[in-house]
Amino acid sequence: MKRLKLHGFNNLTKTLSFNIYDICYAATPSQVKEYIEYIDDAYNAERLTQILTDVANIIGANILNIAHQDYDPQGASVTMLISEEPVAAQQLSNTEAPGPLPDAVVAHLDKSHITVHTYPESHPENSISTFRVDIDVSTCGRISPLKALNYLIHSFESDIVIMDYRVRGFTRDVGGKKHYIDHKINSIQNYLARDTKNRYQMMDVNVYQENIFHTKMILKEFDLDGYLFGMEVDDMPPRQQREISERIKREMMEIFYGRNIQKGMRLM
């Protein structure tokens, strides 16, 4: 897309929101309690603050203010107000291409904010526990928060990722004409690294005329050992392995498609 010559500041607001889910099977009430305590401690407000601080440093942003809170019985939230550090205009990029990975990420944001909220929970009957992380990155100006996408996905390795990207408002060129988007995009997938695309099955639901883009991701490969808490596959008979696998897959598919699946329906 041809670079626009703007009248004043770029007033477009670009917001990337995504939900990351981790699924776990904990068979007994004590194992469920241990899992919730483990995940709640691993991602408490202090840890999340450090993660967002690292993200802000990596993308080259100034931290203006931080608010954080742990909740009872579980969960935590962090909100960080950030601003862009001085950077030459030619270094900024909002082209439709994958952003860098954690070991090489360099991005810059205008006045913006990053928020993260965690939601550990467990099913009362089928021994399935889930851990959800909600992250929002919102920017004003030329740069797109999609450039931070790869870093964040690799920082929270997860079973399911549901992402939304929206451009709101308008900016004017020097002739006074309004522009409702300032970069080319037809899918969030175009900003994902190849290894991420290879690992996940993905589905898009986009509303191009409204500049709304939605992508869902779910892991392609299923390894039961990776979902068990406090137990191992080798300690289970084959029938129990199949039953637990079906429960976990059902939970994952229901989250991925956003609807409950009837029992007896064939799963992936």
| Backbone φ, ψ for residue 25 (5° rounding) | -110, 115
Catalytic residue among 117, 129, 138, 144: 117
24 is annotated as an active-site residue: no
Contact predicate 219/198, CB 8 Å: no
Among the listed residues 24, 112, 138, 158, the single catalytic one is 112
The one-letter amino acid at 63: I
Please report how many Cα atoms fall inside a 13 Å half-sphere around the Cα of residue 227, on the Cβ side: 26
Residue among 113, 129, 138, 140 flagged as catalytic: 140
Question: Taking the CA of residue 109 as centre, how many other CA atoms within 13 Å lie in the half-sphere pointing to its CB?
Answer: 32
Other CB atoms within 10 A of residue 184 CB: 10
Residue 112 bears catalytic tag: yes
User: Active site includes 117?
Assistant: yes
> Are the C-beta atoms of 208 and 185 separated by less than 8 Å?
no
- Integer Cα distance of 37 and 122 in angstroms: 12
The span from the first CA to the last CA of the chain, in angstroms, equals: 40
The full length of the chain comes to 268
Quickly count: other Cβ atoms within 10 Å of residue 239's Cβ.
8
Q: Can you spell out the DSSP letters for 17-70?
A: EEEEEEEEE--SHHHHHHHHHHHHHHT-HHHHHHHHHHHHHHTTEEEEEEEEEE
- Please identify every residue annotated as catalytic: 112, 117, 140
